[in-house]
Amino acid sequence: MSKGTAVITGAANGIGQAYAQRLAADGFDIAVADVVDASTTRGLIEATGRRFFSALVDVTSPESTLQFAADVAANLPPVVALVNNAGIYPWKSFADTDYALWRKVLGVNLDGAFLMSKAFIPGMKERKLGRIVNVASSTLWLNVPDMSAYIASKGGVIGLTRALASEFGASGITANVIAPGLTNTKSMRSTNEEIFEFLPKLQAIPRTLEPTDLVGVVSFLCSPDSAFVTGQTVVADGGQARL
């Protein structure tokens, strides 16, 4: 029996795909919004016996996100969990970050979480049940250069999450953040391979962080066990950042 639908953005591959696999194992049907085809994720989810829906979605577009919400409602059980995972992370110095890039990063990383929340919170509020998990980054608490737009966007994600927690707690909706550290994904490796040589050595757990190291946190934050946890940020980076 399905626990309802979990929506995950940016889950065609990488960390989002790992979240989708874990939540399917937990009993959720899965809906994926991404800018690329999610057929690989479909195969992984349907192999577990869970239902799956995906669409090409621009998370910076109100029209695209609202249409996706309507399509999910027409194809899957009611949405009870939303994981805003889609993000971009260009390594650019402040001097090389022009306004167009600044707006693009904030558009995907922060506006995307806002618009997806706008699309799915009304149904959660009506049913008085919802789990929102927004993805930030432990870079907020570290000395990381050349990521001004990215770090600003992730600070905004935490602020948005706290505001949602305050506004919708009485409606049975929780909103929390997972803040991963440097994670071993194909896209991150292709962006900055060198950092994997030294950064894990600075962690209390001195090894490379894998997507599977993160899924338990998201599983908990989407579960009934987290019903009294809201407005919180859980850092999952091997103990490098300390809150």
Confidence at residue 68, expressed as pLDDT on a 0 to 100 scale: 98
Rounded Cα distance between 28 and 173, Å, is 17
pTM over 0.75: yes
Confidence at residue 187, expressed as pLDDT on a 0 to 100 scale: 76
Instruction: With a cut of 80, say whether residue 94 has pLDDT above it.
Output: yes
Catalytic residue among 19, 89, 99, 150: 150
Confidence at residue 190, expressed as pLDDT on a 0 to 100 scale: 67
Helix (H) or strand (E) holding 166: helix 148-168
Rounded Cα distance between 224 and 219, Å, is 10
For the chain, give the mean pLDDT: 95
Once rounded to an integer, what is the mean pLDDT over residues 192-210? Answer: 86
Rounded Cα distance between 56 and 32, Å, is 9
Q: Per residue in 55-71, pLDDT tens?
A: 999 999 999 999 999 99
Q: Per residue in 122-160, pLDDT tens?
A: 999 999 999 999 999 999 999 999 999 999 999 999 999
- Residue range 5-180+214-235, CATH number: 3.40.50.720
150 is catalytic: yes
Confidence at residue 243, expressed as pLDDT on a 0 to 100 scale: 87
Rounded Cα distance between 148 and 21, Å, is 32
Confidence at residue 16, expressed as pLDDT on a 0 to 100 scale: 98
How many other C-beta atoms can be found within 10 angstroms of the C-beta atom of residue 91?
13
Domain boundaries, the chain: 5-180+214-235
Confidence at residue 188, expressed as pLDDT on a 0 to 100 scale: 72
Q: How many helices (H) and strands (E) does the chain have?
A: 9, 7
Q: How confident is the model at residue 186 (pLDDT cuts 50, 70, 90)?
A: confident
Once rounded to an integer, what is the mean pLDDT over residues 173-193? Answer: 86
- Of the chain, the percentage scoring pLDDT greater than 90 comes to 90
Q: How confident is the model at residue 46 (pLDDT cuts 50, 70, 90)?
A: very high
Q: How confident is the model at residue 200 (pLDDT cuts 50, 70, 90)?
A: confident
